[in-house]
Amino acid sequence: MGNILLTQTDHGRSIEVRVGDRVVIDLSENPSTGFQWAIEQNNDRVLKPLSSTYTPPTGTTVGGAGQRTFAFLGQASGIAEPRFKLWREWEGNASIVERFSVTIQVRD
């Protein structure tokens, strides 16, 4: 079982992982603006969501961007295309300012 780390520079990539691998996606987020990353779509049968956590910036920078970390587990063979949106949930889809997606092939 391995750990695979993806960041915003991996947007649009296709990767291959094995069942049991952990996929971690780190996205820059500044919740003081009201914008937060959320999962827009995913094939949960193939790529099981494990957690979503926010880590604030280090140091004393007020209002600086931190990291939103999504963790997934490859749990069945197939293809998952998780897609994320950076938005203000209370304003709805019209507030989306950025998207992130990858294609993940999970193999036995």
Decide if pLDDT at 60 tops 80: no
Residue 40 has what pLDDT? 98
pLDDT band, residue 61 (cuts 50/70/90): low
Decide if pLDDT at 59 tops 90: no
Q: How many whole angstroms separate alpha carbon 79 and alpha carbon 81?
A: 7
Residue 108 has what pLDDT? 93
Q: Which fold has domain 3-107?
A: Immunoglobulin-like (2.60.40)
The per-residue b/e assignment along 42-71, b for 16 or more CB within 10 angstroms, e otherwise, is beeebbbeeeeeeeeeeeeeeeeebebbbe
Greater model confidence, 60 or 87: 87
Distance between first and last Cα of the chain: 11
What are the tokens at 103?
A: 């294609």
pLDDT band, residue 63 (cuts 50/70/90): confident
The domain limits of the chain are 3-107
